[in-house]
Amino acid sequence: MTSDENVSATFKRAAAERAVDFIQPGMVVGLGTGSTAAYAVKRLGALLSAGTLKDVVGIPTSRATEALATSLGVPLTTLDVHPVVDLTIDGADEVAPDLSLIKGGGGALLREKVVAQASRREIIIVDAPKLSPRLGSKWPVPVEVLPFGWRSQALFLESLGARVVVRLALDGAPYHTDQGNVLLDCDFGPISDPSGLAAKLDARAGVMEHGLFLNLTTDLLVAGPEGITHRVRGA
């Protein structure tokens, strides 16, 4: 790890551990995906195994998070059993001043959005470099598309102004999400109308989901050199 990565990891961990303080006994908790969310899962696992926190069940947003939580002894449940989630803790790739997000760098955007929409409270945890004046300035929008006809979706996304890159797995083959779909990373540059873009993506058959998370964050915890800042949407 470079020293920059070490600093980033320290901040991610600090934000994640603060978020876990919001979990109360008896809660159903959405478990996000990615390196920042993993710190929260590890902290939750430690509190549960120490008996400091009791009767919490988690809903993982990916197979990777499911495997991590299981390895730590975090009891898991499903949205079928618990269709309403008390609190979800998840990371993000880019955060705008209105707490809208780009997510999906870890490829779990579809399940992450399903769980976020089922959650009473969505706590997003990031390190400060992820703050952005406008979505799209730092990160492409991942778009999850059905394998059937994915090249047509790439053309559609280009027609909306994106530079489209097919996400690849480590072996160089197209990456497949937990749902078996293809991910197209779409660089739109700074996005002037995220809601308008989201509406166009939502309306397209074959687009299964996209990484624009609008009006879903309730709380944002940002860790940086000055400590941790807690922002609440609308406050």
118 and 86 Cβ atoms separated by less than 8 Å: no
| Residue 125: CB minimum distance to ligand 5RP, A | 8
Q: Which is nearer to ligand 5RP, 145 or 151 (CB)?
A: 145
Catalytic pick from 17, 66, 112, 122? 112
Q: Which is nearer to ligand 5RP, 91 or 140 (CB)?
A: 91
- Closest by alpha carbon to 82, among 58, 54, 116? 58
Active site residue 112: yes
Q: Which is nearer to ligand 5RP, 25 or 225 (CB)?
A: 225
List of residues contacting ligand 5RP (CB under 6 A): 32-37, 90-93, 103-109, 112
- Closest by alpha carbon to 96, among 8, 185, 9, 222? 222
Q: Which is nearer to ligand 5RP, 36 or 119 (CB)?
A: 36
| Residue 178: CB minimum distance to ligand 5RP, A | 10
| Token couple for 130 | 């992820």
104 is in an annotated binding site: yes
Q: Which residue has the tokens 């078996």?
A: 180
| Residue 161: CB minimum distance to ligand 5RP, A | 23
| Residue 25: CB minimum distance to ligand 5RP, A | 26
51 is in an annotated binding site: no
| Residues in CB range of 200: below 8 A, 6 or more apart | 160
| Residues in CB range of 93: below 8 A, 6 or more apart | 101, 102, 103, 104, 105, 130, 138, 139, 211
90 is in an annotated binding site: yes
| Token couple for 172 | 């160089």
Q: Which residues are paired to 31 by β-bridges?
A: 60, 89
Binding site for substrate: what residues are annotated?
A: 33-36, 90-93, 103-106, 130
Positions marked catalytic? 112
